[in-house]
Chain A
Amino acid sequence: MALKGLAGKILRVNLTSGSITKEPTPDDVFAGYIGARGVGAYLLLKELKAHTDPLGPDNKLIFLTGPVEGTLAPGANKITVTFRSPLTGTYSFSLCGGHLAPEVKFAGYDGIIIEGRADRPVYLWIDDDRVSLKDASHLWGKLTHATEDAIRAELKDDAIRVACIGPAGEKLSRFACIQSDYHREFGRGGAGAVMGAKNLKAIAVRGTGSVEVADPEALEALTEKVYGILAANLKARARRYYGTPEMVDGTNGLGYWGTRNFSTGYFEEGHNINAANMKEKIFVGSMSCYACPIACGKVSLIRSGPYAGTMIEGPEFESTGLLGANCGVSDLEALVKAVEICDIYGLDTMSAGAVASLAMECYEKGIITKEDTDGLELNFGNGEALVALMEKIARREGIGDLFAEGAKRAAEKLGVPELAMQVKGQEFATYEPRGCKGMGLGYAISPKGAHHMIAPTMGPETAGDGSKRFEYKGKAALVRETQFLMAVVDSLSLCSSMRFALGLKEQIDLYCAVTGLALDEAGAMLIGEKITNLERLFNLREGFDRKDDYLPSRMLKEKMPTGPSQGHLVELDPMLDEYYDLMGWDHEGRPTENRLAELGLAELWREVR
């Protein structure tokens, strides 16, 4: 079966032996799991041996695009990387926007599988069908932006797309990200550390080809239709105007914005770091990922003060929450500076913010003192100290060495595991579970730890007067549905911002026009369920089950003290029971034989377990 929309080849690079091979893209796997995240989950489960050391040579980085990438489809610009996470030990994946994904397709590949470990720093140079490993000794230690610039200069082409790690990845910070196009990243789960452990500094890509589409006329008509929908949709327009920080006021206004290490869900100084204030004070322009009619990336410039001249793309909503509200920091300039440090050293801003807020709570409680912090006064709200701490973490200097290990490990070492707001070792996203129960369940059952995009239920939960967010009824079903939907969207590799305006129908229609396959919404949701189960199976094999689907005790036992969600807790267990039931999993969260057989996964599971 030749599937349209695919480039037809997967690149496999073994860094240990230096071998580079091109394999035919497994069309049947793509047809069964759509692409990117789905195919990644399948390949990782199949190719990775149980209990592989995440930072050892046997871990893999499986970069995959979706079938709609490199076509006319709007918002088709995501590339995923699937790997075993050094932060959580679970299956993990992260998505990166920008311009890397179409470039990989144009170069003739649906994905790149990186295995092994190079004995010295290298970078991968993909120039259409000419692929080589190049020495990167001179790039080791360089910041991400400088690395991109150096590679473009060395290869004498300004249009080359680069994905690289910074010093944080080299030093194996467990939440190091892979940076691309200056400000787009494979953020969560520590893919940058895996790349660092493999001695792979960067991947540079140049593509001059194209992909074939099954039904060009249908694709063109659909694309025009999608442009129209996006132009008319209020949410998409808000995002276009303000970028992702458009969500600050809504989230804070309903009191489910993680503040001061999630000790509460309402930040009184939130208006200082909301979208309107950013628009007025720091935004100077927009940057778009490939093929996106929204262009949510906002360029910020600090014009005066100690950080004058700092220019970044962002801050995004999640960074604003975790480095801002969650650290009690309302100083916009310090926030921008902290994001810049994360970007150029290659750290996930979300985990970095969560770790900083943990450090601040420990400092205020006297668990760490000025002596431990080299004199930094790490009180909540101290923007200057936040920036200094970011530098320390990025360089693993002093106390930064401890916090570069992630919140869970750091808190355990300090003897206060309950202060780390995380699930399975992955730090919370910015939504406060006590103020939005579905997000709590979503964090708990997420295969990659507390991640907000596994089941982003906040939209329906806060619709109307917003009181639905406190209800438990129907939450398990909502989380399940949303989870399948997101598995499909991530596998299609469309940006999740499209989802605000587009129904699953439009997205699937794009997929069908490109591939020539017939798929309806029910069929797509079934694929979403299969992917969800594959991810569960990987974790099950690593020993994760119900005991790991928890939330920190603060969420379960301490009533939220302030704000519009005051007095609320999360009653997780009943939601969890209901969710497992709906999924056809047993009481411990293990998929039953029956369910696996119904989904057609029983044989695969027998083979890999």
Chain B
Amino acid sequence: MNVLVTYPERCVGCRICEQWCSWKHEGQVNPTKSRIRVHRVHSKYLNIPVTCMQCAKSPCIAACREGALRKDSATGAVIVDEEKCIGCRRCVRACPYGAVAIDKDKRIVLICDLCGGEPQCVAHCREGAIEYVSLALADRGHRAAYVETVVATMAAETKDGIKATGEGGCQ
């Protein structure tokens, strides 16, 4: 089973993922109908893609009193039963990532369905800011990034150490 992995540090905020998500699902480009949203933190020059993380113990499903949410056994995506959903927004509040949206016209919730296993946001992200990888390997990218940080920190410390000695800091 594959899951979505996002890399905010790679995201540039073009919102092409939002475009394709709403286009493929709703036949229109409309950010409020997208199941992935890019949030820009202007003052920090950050763009954060927010979407369903396919949690193992989906709090959204647990919060739903109508039985409108279920997990697709093939993809692991949370599927919304449009007949059963009453748009109460309990799942919106339950989601720890703010990944559940509301369709203001249909008055039901929008949750990433992984496009049936071919997520369009991933297919169209040129920055590699969203990946669709096997659950078993989903942590590797982040581990690599962490290792890179450690290496950079250690390199800087060594350099500073040499510099301090060179300037006679030990005397």
**A interface, CB within 8 angstroms of B:** 70-72, 74, 99, 106, 145, 148-149, 158-159, 181-182, 208-213, 216, 220, 227, 231, 285-293, 295, 297, 299, 311, 313
CA gap between A129 and B2 in the complex, in Å: 41
Cross-chain contact B13 with A287 (CB below 8 angstroms): yes
CA gap between A290 and B41 in the complex, in Å: 15
Per a CB cutoff under 8 Å, which of A106, A159, A291, A311 touches B14? A291
**B interface, CB within 8 angstroms of A:** 9, 12-16, 19-20, 22-23, 27-33, 39-43, 45, 47, 104, 124, 126-127
Cross-chain contact B126 with A231 (CB below 8 angstroms): yes
Given the complex, which residues of B lie within 8 Å of A211, measured CB to CB? Answer: 28-29
Q: Which 4 A-B pairs have the closest CB atoms?
A: A210-B30, A288-B14, A288-B12, A210-B28
Given the complex, which residues of B lie within 8 Å of A148, measured CB to CB? Answer: 42
CA gap between A227 and B15 in the complex, in Å: 14
CA gap between A290 and B16 in the complex, in Å: 8
The closest CB in chain A to the CB of B19 belongs to A72
Given the complex, which residues of A lie within 8 Å of B42, measured CB to CB? Answer: 145, 148-149, 181-182
CA gap between A159 and B32 in the complex, in Å: 11
The closest CB in chain B to the CB of A148 belongs to B42
CA gap between A145 and B47 in the complex, in Å: 17
Given the complex, which residues of B lie within 8 Å of A297, measured CB to CB? Answer: 12
Number of A-B contacts (CB under 8 A): 74
Cross-chain contact A70 with B45 (CB below 8 angstroms): no
Per a CB cutoff under 8 Å, which of B16, B31, B39, B104 touches A106? B31
Minimum Cβ distance to chain A for residue B49 (Å)? 13
Given the complex, which residues of B lie within 8 Å of A159, measured CB to CB? Answer: 39-40
CA gap between A292 and B96 in the complex, in Å: 30
CA gap between A251 and B31 in the complex, in Å: 39
Other A-B pairs, 18, CB within 8 Å; known A208-B104, A287-B12, A293-B16: A72-B20, A99-B15, A145-B42, A148-B42, A149-B42, A158-B40, A181-B42, A182-B42, A182-B43, A210-B22, A210-B29, A212-B28, A231-B126, A290-B15, A291-B15, A293-B14, A295-B126, A295-B127
Cross-chain contact B27 with A227 (CB below 8 angstroms): no
Minimum Cβ distance to chain B for residue A148 (Å)? 7
Task: Given A72-B19, A295-B14, A295-B127, decide whether A209 and B45 contact each other with a Cβ distance below 8 A.
Answer: no
A-B contact pairs, 9 of them (CB 8 A): A227-B124, A287-B45, A287-B47, A290-B14, A291-B16, A291-B19, A292-B16, A295-B126, A311-B45
Given the complex, which residues of A lie within 8 Å of B39, measured CB to CB? Answer: 158-159
Given the complex, which residues of A lie within 8 Å of B9, measured CB to CB? Answer: 285
The closest CB in chain B to the CB of A212 belongs to B28
Cross-chain contact B30 with A106 (CB below 8 angstroms): yes
Cross-chain contact B27 with A216 (CB below 8 angstroms): yes
CA gap between A106 and B31 in the complex, in Å: 9
CA gap between A288 and B12 in the complex, in Å: 5
Minimum Cβ distance to chain B for residue A510 (Å)? 13
Cross-chain contact B32 with A208 (CB below 8 angstroms): yes
Given the complex, which residues of B lie within 8 Å of A299, measured CB to CB? Answer: 45
Cross-chain contact A209 with B126 (CB below 8 angstroms): no
CA gap between A148 and B27 in the complex, in Å: 32
